[in-house]
Structure 1
Amino acid sequence: MGYVLRATASNGDIRLFMAVSTDIVEKARKIHDLSPTASAALGRTLTAGSIMGLMLKGDKDNLTITMNGGGPLGNVVVCSNSKGNVKGYVSNPKADLPLNSKGKLDVGGAVGRNGMLTVVKDMGLKDPYVGQVPIQSGEIGDDIAYYFVVSEQVPSALALGVLVDRDTTIKAAGGLLVQMLPGANEMLGDIITFRLHEIPPLSSLIAEGKTGEEILNMLFDDMDLKIYEKIDIDYVCDCSRERVERALIALGRDELLKLKNEDKHIQMQCHFCDKTYEFDEKEIESLIDSAK
């Protein structure tokens, strides 16, 4: 499990979300057997997804983040709910690249920069909200911050970090979203940008044992920092045999008959947790009856 701190600073002019997500990213790495670069890309997106999920208003609201910049990772997909629990996958979990010119994992190159970032929010309305922006760098944090500015008109900075150990396990992961609320002094943005550049990377601080509270205090202790709550988050897949059955029934009777005649056996694998669901000939016949 991980956690997110919800806080404000500068007399409420700044909204803050600080996530520590090491265990969540490690769980995703194990499930999908991710390469180091894939771990960094999916881990950053999972962390951002947790924060964005907690910004949803309704208990049953959820959102999906999708990025495809034309890079070797293919699609990066993360789903989150209003409790901040997440699940996700990348199309090519073994895709990896050499370190970039700064000696860091080349997430931008793996994601690619020729495509779109899409955020879909299902808030129980007739149609979901869909926000879409061009990918700026493929580094995830910059791209989601750009989404907030363009689609939601909220000036934002998002620092995301995943530190992969030599044995490919996740040593540390976390994220910090800073948003300027309406009426805030524009100079605050410059101050925050300077401070974020001056401190070590978030993942390094977390690896050293710093808590989310300590990191927020490093940055905002002199700016009327107020931490309101600490929310537990986790990697949770809500797939089930019943949901898979409903998806198969939705294919329709003709398609199910075709599958039965071709193989007499259906095997479905969940993208998010890799769990496999199998249906024999008798079970397929039962699905066909339900689809009439």
Structure 2
Amino acid sequence: MKDHLVKAVADGVRVYAAVTTDLVNEAIRRHGCHPVAAAALGRTMTGALLLAANLKNREALTVTFDGHGPLGKVTADATPEGFVRGYVTNPYVDLPQNAKGKIDVGGGVGTDGTVTVTRFTGLRNPVTGSAPLTDGEIADDLTKYLYVSEQTPSSVGLGVLIGHAGEEMACIGAGGFIIQPMPDATDETIDKLEANLKKVNSVSHMVEHGLDAKGIIAELLQGFAVDYLTTTELAFRCPCSKERISEVLLSLGQSDLESLIEDGHAEVCCHFCNERYQFSKEELQAIYDKAMAHRQQES
């Protein structure tokens, strides 16, 4: 089952659901995440994709959790086209299981801080909102953010199930959903929704047992006449490239570029995807010459 996101509506209800197992595994592979980081980053990337599904094409958003826990910051970028990338400051953190016998994402993220969502909508300045963290477990924090910062009552569910594929640690089920009552939702609709949410299995176990995004929505909206709208394929994708990194190097000061040339080699690593780009002395000299020529033209 490929990663995908489905949008649907029912009487007075809007719901987005996603399966994200493969892209979480790609993040684990790229960053070498231990279980706590894998779960935190996987939930954050899934949540970012669900929030981005409400954007227009060519827009994007960034979700950052900064709870001053041992993981450091957990950040994900997502687009409505279904692309996501993300990283965690300290991916090798190990923590004992929490009191419920589960991966302690809240302990890794921490609760002394905020979740921040920045939307890039094509305007001159991006739009940023934030909310204090509640438990650092990601889903409840996004629910609170939507209510506090965007005045949108919602229920967010996110799950990342970590197990083993052979001898390697792997994600064996990941996904999430956002349910939002629309302004015309009746009390009866909200009561039915709440009853359904209380009895559904965790989203990661639903995915592990083979449910796709439509299947997750069907579980959430039992007793509703559901109208499935669109399906979007999802993938971990970073737009970084050697050409883009070269543009960053061009912006360095003269002394910094001279120092790199003197070293005879440079390696630049992208935080989001952990891809490493190598630059030879000849390439660095060409970047230096271009930068100096450009600055002479400006002066």
- TM-score, scaled to structure 2: 0.92
Cα deviation per residue 1:152-196 (whole Å; 9 max; x = unaligned)?
A: 111011000011114521110010100122232245444323321
SS at match of 1:72: coil
Structural mapping, 1:113-124, within 5 Å: 113-124=111-122
SS at match of 1:118: strand
Percent of paired sites with the same residue: 37
- Match in the other structure for 1:244: 245
Matched, 1:265 2:259: no
- Match in the other structure for 1:170: 171
- Match in the other structure for 2:296: none
The CA distance in 1 between the partners of 2:182 and 2:67, in whole Å, is: 30
The CA distance in 2 between the partners of 1:234 and 1:286, in whole Å, is: 35
| Aligned CA distance change for structure 1 residues 243 and 193 (closer, same or farther; 3 Å) | same
Matched, 1:290 2:294: no
The CA distance in 2 between the partners of 1:273 and 1:194, in whole Å, is: 40
| Aligned CA distance change for structure 1 residues 82 and 253 (closer, same or farther; 3 Å) | farther
Matched, 1:44 2:40: no
- Match in the other structure for 1:128: 126
Matched, 1:21 2:20: yes
Tell me by how many angstroms 1:239 deviates. Answer: 0.9
Alignment-mate amino acid for residue 131 of structure 2: V
Matched, 1:81 2:74: no
Tell me by how many angstroms 1:87 deviates. Answer: 0.6
Gaps of 5+ in 1: none
The CA distance in 2 between the partners of 1:189 and 1:258, in whole Å, is: 63
Structural mapping, 1:1-292, within 5 Å: 1-10=2-11, 13-57=12-56, 59-166=57-164, 167-186=168-187, 188-261=189-262, 263-292=263-292
Cα deviation per residue 1:121-152 (whole Å; 9 max; x = unaligned)?
A: 11111111111111111000111111111121
SS at match of 1:239: coil
Tell me by how many angstroms 1:72 deviates. Answer: 0.9
The CA distance in 2 between the partners of 1:186 and 1:265, in whole Å, is: 65
Gaps of 5+ in 2: 293-299
The CA distance in 1 between the partners of 2:136 and 2:103, in whole Å, is: 12
Alignment-mate amino acid for residue 179 of structure 1: Q
The CA distance in 1 between the partners of 2:6 and 2:44, in whole Å, is: 18
Alignment-mate amino acid for residue 282 of structure 1: E
The CA distance in 1 between the partners of 2:157 and 2:59, in whole Å, is: 25
CA contact (8 A) 2:196 2:222 kept: no
Alignment-mate amino acid for residue 227 of structure 2: K
CA contact (8 A) 2:6 2:16 kept: yes
The CA distance in 2 between the partners of 1:257 and 1:184, in whole Å, is: 64
CA contact (8 A) 1:252 1:291 kept: no
Alignment-mate amino acid for residue 103 of structure 1: G
Alignment-mate amino acid for residue 52 of structure 2: G
CA contact (8 A) 2:196 2:221 kept: no
CA RMSD of aligned residues (A): 1.5
Aligned residue-pair number: 288
The CA distance in 1 between the partners of 2:244 and 2:213, in whole Å, is: 37
